[in-house]
Structure 1
Amino acid sequence: MTTRTEALIIGAGLSGIGQAVAFARSGIDFVVLEKAPDLGGTWRSNTYPGAACDVEAHLYSYSHTKNPYWRSTYAGQEEILGYLRGVARRHGLLPRIRFDTRVVSARWDEATAEWTVETADGDTYVSRFLVLGVGGLHVPRFPEVPGAATFRGSSWHTSCWNHDVDLAGKHVALVGVGASGVQVAPHLAERAASLTIFQRTAPWVLPKADTAIPAWRQRLFARLPAVHSWHRLGIYLRREKRGFGFHTRPDLLRVAEPIVRRRIAEQIADPSLRALVTPDYPLGCKRVLFSADYYATLNRPDVHVVAGGPAEIRPDTIVDAVGEEHRTDVLVYATGFDLTGSFDRIEIAGIGGRLLKEAWRGGTHGYQGLAVPDFPNLFLLLGPNGFAPYTSVVPNLEAQARYVVQAVRTTRSAGARALTVRRDATDRFLAETRARFARTVWAPGNCRNWYQNTSPAGTVLWPDSILRYRLRLRTLRKGDYEFLPARGSVLAGRPDRERQVPRRTSVPAE
C-alpha cells in the first residue's frame, strides 16, 4: 500500500508531536509514523522508578498547549506521558499517526523530487518533505564487558525496565551514574537487600527543589492564562541567565563548586567515600544532575560505590577493576544511549544515493541543527547542533517546528519542488559553532564528555544561548539554500523539460 502526503514525520515523541501540531495549525497535510504502539518517545520507553524531568514542568511543555495543572515543580514520567497524549487528542493528531510502523529506509527521488519511505511491514509512504523526530534517548547503549553472556541473574537497561522482577531481598548492581542512574539509585536502595554502584566518573549532583504545586496556583493558572505565561517566561529567563556561565563565562560556575563540595561533605561521613564521589573536573563540563536524596542514599550501610566500571561479569558476581567480586542477582545498566543509533537504523539516502550515515562518518553535524547538504526537504528535529543542555529543549523545538513550516511555505512561494541547504552555508555555520564551542565549559580543555565529537563543529550542541538560537530561526535565509525548480517552471532561466533530472539552482538572498 502506498500513501502520499505533503509532509511525513518519523517519530511521535516530544519532537514529532511538536512538529505535527505546527503542521496542523498551518494547514499542511502530514502523516506521522511511529514504531511503537503508543506515542511519547522517551517518556513512553523510560518507565524506571524515579524517572522524571530535571527541567521545570511549566517550561518542559509546549507554549501553545500549556498545562496549568502540573502537580509538582518537576514532572515525572507518567505525568509527562499523559500530557503528550492530551496534546495529541486536543489537536486532533491521533488519526494522522500510524502506530506500530517501523521505518527501514527513506530515499530521495531526484526525478520526482520526493521522498519514498519504506516500512518493515512493506507499506510505502511518499512525501515532498521529510521530518525526522526520532530522538536520541531510546536506543540503549551497553558497555562491552567480558562474560556478560554468562550472567545467570536478571539484567536490563533503565530504558527497558523489567517490572516483573521483585527486587526485595535481591543483591542489585547498578552500572552508571548519569541522569537515570542518579534518579533510580535511591529507589533501588529502598527495595533491594544491597546495592553496588559502579561509578566511572563522579557526577556533579545539585539539590532538586521539587515541591508540590498547590491547588490554588493551578486554578490561578487555569483562569488567568496570562499569569501562567509570565510564570513560564520567568523560568525561561532564569535558565537563560544561568546558561551564561555555561556558554560564555565558565569562570562564573566556579563560584558554585565550593558550595556543592560542602554539601557533599555534609552528607557523606566516610572520607574515602567522600573523595570517591567528589568530581575532579569543572562544574558544568559534564551534564549537571539534580537529586534531593542521591548523596544520602550513598551513606546507607547496604550501598557500596565502586570506582570504575565492571571488569568482568560472572554467573553470580561482578568483578571490579581491582579484582574484587560483588554478589549480584540483578544487573541494571544506566549507561546512556546511542545518540546516532536512531538515525543509523533507518537507511536515509539523499542526492546521488548518498547515505546520511556516510555524510556523518566524520561526526554528526548539520546546518542550524536542522538540515544537511545533499538531503533536500529533509529536516532533523533536535538534531546535531540544535540543542543546549542547560535548559528545556522545548523552546528550541518550537523554533525548529516553525522553521520547518516556513521552509515548506518558502518552497511553495518560490515555485520550487524542493530546497537543499548549501554546503558553503553549512561550512560557515559549523565554523562559527566550533569557535563558540571553544569558549564554553563543555570544551575539550575542561573534560571529556559526550557533547564533543569529531565533526567540523567539534560538538553536537548549540554552544550559545537559546535566545540567540531562536532568533536565528525566525527567518529562513534563502541565500543559504538551493531550490529545485518545479516541473515546467523556469527558476534559473531554463525549462525543466530540457533535462532528465532537475538541476539545482540558486535563489538570491532576500
Structure 2
Amino acid sequence: MTATRTEVLVVGAGLSGLRQAADLAAAGIDFLVLEKAADLGGTWRDNTYPDAACDVESDLYSYARDRNPGWSSAYATQPEILAYLRDVARRRGLLPSIRFGTEVTGARWQADTRTWVVSTATGVTCTSRFLVLGVGGLHTPRVPDLPGSFAGHSWHSSRWNHDVDLTGKRVALVGVGASGVQLVPHLAERAATLTVFQRTPAWVLPKADAPVPAWRKRLYRRLPWTQSLHRLRIYLRREKRGLGFHHRPDALAAAEPVVLGRIAAQVDSPRLRDELTPRYRLGCKRVLFSNDYYPALNRANVHVVTGGPTALRPRAVVDEEGQEHEADVVVYATGFDVTGSFHHIGIEGADGRRLEDAWRTGASTYNGVAVSGFPNMFLLLGPHSAVPYTGAVVNIEAQSRYVVRAIRAVRAAGATALVVRPEAERRFQEGLRRRFTRTIWHVGGCRTWYHDDSTAGTVLYPGSTLEYRLLLRSVRLRDYALIR
C-alpha cells in the first residue's frame, strides 16, 4: 500500500473538480485530484447517449476565465463540451495533478492529526488537510427496482450501450425528463416500435438553437471582451426569468400558452394531446427544451403509456394497468440519486459519524458548501447550491473561490482546521425552508427530486444565483469554529 500527502484533495474531475483544481493552482495551493474514471468530464463524459446536448447556452455553460470562442452552436452538444473541458485541463496544466482510475472508497477525519485519510480502490491512501467533494449530484443513476426479469438489453441513459444497434428493435423508454425528451426523436426514427412510459407530462418549450456564425467566432477571438459581454447578457436574461421561479411564481403562467399552443399545433391525436398536457404549473418540474419532441410522438411506431412501468417480463414491460408492451431493449431515462455519489464514498466526520447517517432524513448543509461535524470538508454543486432555471457554472465558480478563501482564512488565523457551527447550519436550513415555500417548486402542484424531508425541505437553493454568489463572497468566520 502506498501513501500520498497533499494540502487539498479534490474528488472528481468533472465540471466542478476541474474548476476547483484551476483555482487552487492559480492560488499556489498544493492539491491532487482523484478521478475514478479513465478520463475527465464527469457528467459530460458519462452521458454519451444520442443527441445529448446542454439546455443552457454554450457561452454561459463554460468558465468565465476560460472562454471558448469556437462554440459551433448556441447550445453545445456532449462531444463539444467534453472537448472543451479536456482543453481547459490541458491549457491550465492540470493533467499531471489528476490521478485517473482511482476510485475513492472512504474518507475519515483524523482528529489527532487534523487531516483527512482517504482510501481508494487501488490501495493508495491519501492524506490531506482539506477535502473537496466534486462528485456531483447527476452522477449516480437511479433505476427503478421492478419485479421480474428482462431477457433483452437494458441500460440507463447515462450508461449508453453503443454496441447495440436499435434499428428495427422494439424499444421501451422509461422517463420523459431532460434525457428522455432528447432521446425520443432519435429512437422514434430508428426503432420498429417505441413505447414511451410517461409518469407525468413535461412542459417542453422550443429551443432557440442555431449555428454560431463565422463572423461571431472571429469577433470573439479578436475581441475577447465581446464574448464576456454576451455571456453577461445571457446570464442577466436568465436571472430575470428566474424571478418567476423563486419570487413570483404567477409570472411563469405567461409561458404556459406557448407550450399548450405547440401541443395543439404539433400533436395530431386529441387523446395524445390530453395525455401530454401537464396538470401542474410550468416551472414546478424542470422546464425542458426541444423542437422535435412533440412531432416525433405523432409517428405510427410511437406509443405513449401514461404512468410508469410496474414489472418486467422476459420480452415485455408491464404498465400500471397490467398490460404488457413487447420490447427488445429497455432504456431508463430516470434521472439520478442526488446524494448517492456522496454516500458511495463512506465519509466519516469528527465524531466518527458518517455523512450518510447525518443525511438520513435529508441533506443538511451550510451555504451549500460545508457540513457541521465534518471539518475542512467542502462540497461542490451538492445539496442547496443549484438552481434549475440557469446554468450551474456560475455557482460552481463561486463555490470554488469560496474554498480558496476558506483555506487562506485558516492559514491566516494560525489554525489547522475549521468546522461549521451547528447553529449556523441550522439558521441556513431554516432560511431555505422559509424561502422555498414561496417558490414555484413548492406551490406549483407537483413533487419532484427537488423536495426532501430535511429541515430545508429541498435540495435546491431557492433563490437567485446572484444572491448565492454574494453569499459566498466572504467566509464568515463567526459561523465556524477554528481548531488550533
User: TM range, normalised to the smaller chain?
Assistant: over 0.9
Using the TM superposition, give the Cα deviation of residue 446 of structure 1 relative to its aligned residue in structure 2, in angstroms.
2.5
Cα deviation per residue 1:77-102 (whole Å; 9 max; x = unaligned)?
A: 00000000000001100000000000
Say yes or no: does 1:399 pair with 2:398.
Answer: yes
- The amino acid across from 1:191 in the alignment is R
- Report if aligned partners of 2:280, 2:444 keep a CA contact under 8 Å in 1: no
Name the SS of the counterpart of 2:402 in structure 1: helix
- Report if aligned partners of 1:20, 1:30 keep a CA contact under 8 Å in 2: yes
Say yes or no: does 1:243 pair with 2:227.
Answer: no
Using the TM superposition, give the Cα deviation of residue 256 of structure 1 relative to its aligned residue in structure 2, in angstroms.
1.4
Percent of residue pairs bearing the same amino acid type: 63
Structure 1 counterpart of 2:94:
93
Cα deviation per residue 1:419-442 (whole Å; 9 max; x = unaligned)?
A: 001111111111111111111000
Say yes or no: does 1:408 pair with 2:407.
Answer: yes
Structure 1 counterpart of 2:62:
61
- Report if aligned partners of 1:107, 1:350 keep a CA contact under 8 Å in 2: yes
Say yes or no: does 1:447 pair with 2:446.
Answer: yes
Using the TM superposition, give the Cα deviation of residue 445 of structure 1 relative to its aligned residue in structure 2, in angstroms.
6.1
Structure 2 Cα separation of the partners of residues 167 and 426 of structure 1: 49
Structure 1 Cα separation of the partners of residues 140 and 348 of structure 2: 21
Cα deviation per residue 1:93-118 (whole Å; 9 max; x = unaligned)?
A: 00000000000110000011000001
- The amino acid across from 2:199 in the alignment is R
Structure 2 counterpart of 1:315:
314
Using the TM superposition, give the Cα deviation of residue 444 of structure 1 relative to its aligned residue in structure 2, in angstroms.
5.6
Structure 1 counterpart of 2:253:
254
Structure 2 counterpart of 1:223:
222
Count of residue pairs brought into register by the alignment: 483
The aligned runs of 1:299-448 (5 Å cut-off) are 299-443=298-442, 446-448=445-447
Say yes or no: does 1:73 pair with 2:74.
Answer: yes
Say yes or no: does 1:109 pair with 2:121.
Answer: no
Name the SS of the counterpart of 1:386 in structure 2: coil
Name the SS of the counterpart of 2:440 in structure 1: coil
- Report if aligned partners of 2:282, 2:444 keep a CA contact under 8 Å in 1: no
- Report if aligned partners of 2:205, 2:258 keep a CA contact under 8 Å in 1: no
Structure 2 Cα separation of the partners of residues 365 and 91 of structure 1: 34
Using the TM superposition, give the Cα deviation of residue 138 of structure 1 relative to its aligned residue in structure 2, in angstroms.
2.0
- The amino acid across from 2:124 in the alignment is D
Structure 2 Cα separation of the partners of residues 146 and 391 of structure 1: 38
Say yes or no: does 1:50 pair with 2:36.
Answer: no
- The amino acid across from 1:53 in the alignment is C
Say yes or no: does 1:125 pair with 2:132.
Answer: no
- Report if aligned partners of 2:385, 2:395 keep a CA contact under 8 Å in 1: yes
- Report if aligned partners of 1:444, 1:452 keep a CA contact under 8 Å in 2: no
- Larger radius of gyration between Structure 1 and Structure 2: 1
Structure 1 Cα separation of the partners of residues 258 and 77 of structure 2: 27
Using the TM superposition, give the Cα deviation of residue 374 of structure 1 relative to its aligned residue in structure 2, in angstroms.
0.8
Using the TM superposition, give the Cα deviation of residue 168 of structure 1 relative to its aligned residue in structure 2, in angstroms.
1.0
Length-normalised TM-score, structure 1: 0.94
Structure 2 Cα separation of the partners of residues 322 and 270 of structure 1: 21
Structure 2 Cα separation of the partners of residues 445 and 161 of structure 1: 33
Structure 1 Cα separation of the partners of residues 335 and 355 of structure 2: 23
- Report if aligned partners of 2:36, 2:104 keep a CA contact under 8 Å in 1: yes
Structure 2 Cα separation of the partners of residues 230 and 319 of structure 1: 52
Structure 1 Cα separation of the partners of residues 318 and 404 of structure 2: 53
Name the SS of the counterpart of 1:345 in structure 2: helix
Name the SS of the counterpart of 1:352 in structure 2: coil
The gaps in structure 2 that reach 5 residues or longer are none
The gaps in structure 1 that reach 5 residues or longer are 486-510
CA RMSD of aligned residues (A): 0.8
Structure 1 Cα separation of the partners of residues 28 and 163 of structure 2: 45
Cα deviation per residue 1:165-214 (whole Å; 9 max; x = unaligned)?
A: 11111111101101100011110111111111000110111101110001
Q: Larger deviation: 322-331 or 336-345?
A: 322-331
Structure 1 Cα separation of the partners of residues 35 and 310 of structure 2: 38
- The amino acid across from 2:3 in the alignment is T
- The amino acid across from 2:323 in the alignment is E
Cα deviation per residue 1:386-428 (whole Å; 9 max; x = unaligned)?
A: 1111001100000000000000000000000000011111111
- The amino acid across from 1:37 in the alignment is A
Say yes or no: does 1:175 pair with 2:179.
Answer: no
Structure 2 counterpart of 1:293:
292
- Report if aligned partners of 2:19, 2:400 keep a CA contact under 8 Å in 1: yes
Structure 2 counterpart of 1:266:
265
Name the SS of the counterpart of 1:416 in structure 2: coil
Length-normalised TM-score, structure 2: 0.99
Name the SS of the counterpart of 1:367 in structure 2: coil
Structure 2 Cα separation of the partners of residues 146 and 444 of structure 1: 34
Name the SS of the counterpart of 1:304 in structure 2: strand
Using the TM superposition, give the Cα deviation of residue 259 of structure 1 relative to its aligned residue in structure 2, in angstroms.
2.1
